[in-house]
Amino acid sequence: MSAFDPSGHRPPSSALSVRIDTVTETEWNAILPLFDEANFYQTWAYGAVHWGEQQLSHLVLEQAGDPVALAQLRIVKLPLLRAGVAYLRWGPLCRRQGEPEDAILLRRMLAALIAEYVERRGLLLRIAPALSAGDPAAERLLDCLREFGFQREDQPAPYRTIRVDLSPGLETIRKRFDGKWRNQLNAAERNGLTVTEGTGDELYGQFLALSDEMMARKQFETTVDPREFQRLQQRLPEPQKMLILISNKDGVPQTGLVATALGETGIYLLGATSDAGMKSKGSYLLQWQMMQRLRERGCRWYDLGGINPEKNPGVYHFKSGMGGEEVTGLGRFALSRDPLSAAAVTAGERLRAVLTRFKRA
């Protein structure tokens, strides 16, 4: 590993060791929450349901038997070729709860990823960090990626979202809402709504019914499959399950919200509104209650799940009223030692994109 460490440093205490594809799902579920950077996309359940169990790979960096860094990757191999992609989404995780950033540990983790997936397996390694431009650790990560030779990819466009700071008191958070947004919340609180919350399958079924009604009304295409999230919810261990909020009027579900509360950042994943829910303003009430639940679970931030002002101005307008800050992700970075392998991957992805557009047409 030291051959790939440009700093030449060693960890201050005992030597680091690497475990690759020997950790079990139960072990992963136990150690993931130990990290402040833990997130929904690094859960075993997400990888197994969304990508497929056979495509998963797990790398754990340990110090004296204690996990100090983690990464779950998706492996896609091209048929008959020693070529493919190792894709790391919203990782690696290198900061245990309450501990400071460790640049040496980050370098050692990147070195371990390169040694396994680039050098040994001959794959194109892609990393899409969870950090946003301007985050305190962003420049250190970018420096490390450049030192190891990673190149920023032009596509896809970096993740854009609005992030609400949950660290102040609730009164301060509410005062930061846009005036019109706060007025809608006040109206929702006067409309006699009750909120049911939980993680169970029956409650998720209520959300699905609202989602189906909304999709029938709006008639737009989406790549998000709420039923896939239901299968994911069923597999997640209880402490990692998504939190479901449903607003009700006279016992009838009207709006629904699904979010995750892992690590220091909660993420808004799914929302649904019935025709009646649009009138009762239940979505405003659910967002406000979700912020309170995330604070109770120790989250510092609430990521509102992405924005696209050009293609979806209505959703952008709703999210921008919640007093958060617009942030842009660092993008996606790639490294390969084999130009032919990288070219084969690129050609395969272009072909798949063409076929996808053809099917939609």
With cut-offs at 50, 70 and 90, classify the pLDDT of residue 136: confident
How far is residue 323's CA from residue 54's CA, in Å, rounded to a whole number?
Answer: 42
In the structure, what pLDDT confidence band is assigned to residue 347 with cuts at 50, 70 and 90?
A: low
Q: Same fold for the domain at 2-157+329-360 and the one at 161-326?
A: yes
Q: How far apart are CA 81 and CA 344, in angstroms?
A: 9
CA atoms within 13 A on the CB side of 347: 8
What are the residue ranges spanned by the domains of the chain? Answer: 2-157+329-360, 161-326
Helix, strand or coil, per DSSP, at residue 285: helix
Per-residue three-class SS string for 11-63: CCCCCEEEEECCCCHHHHHHHHHHECCCCHHHCHHHHHHHHHHHHEEEEEEEE
Tens digit of pLDDT for each residue in 26-50? 999 999 999 999 999 999 999 999 9
Quickly name the fold that domain 2-157+329-360 has: Aminopeptidase (3.40.630)
> What mean pLDDT do residues 273-295 have?
95
Q: In the CATH scheme, what is the code of domain 161-326?
A: 3.40.630.30
What is the pLDDT, as a whole number, of residue 8? 38
pLDDT one-digit tens code per residue, 162-203: 999 999 999 999 999 999 999 999 999 999 999 999 999 999
**Bond prior to 11 in cis (omega within 30° of 0):** no
pTM above 0.75, yes or no: yes
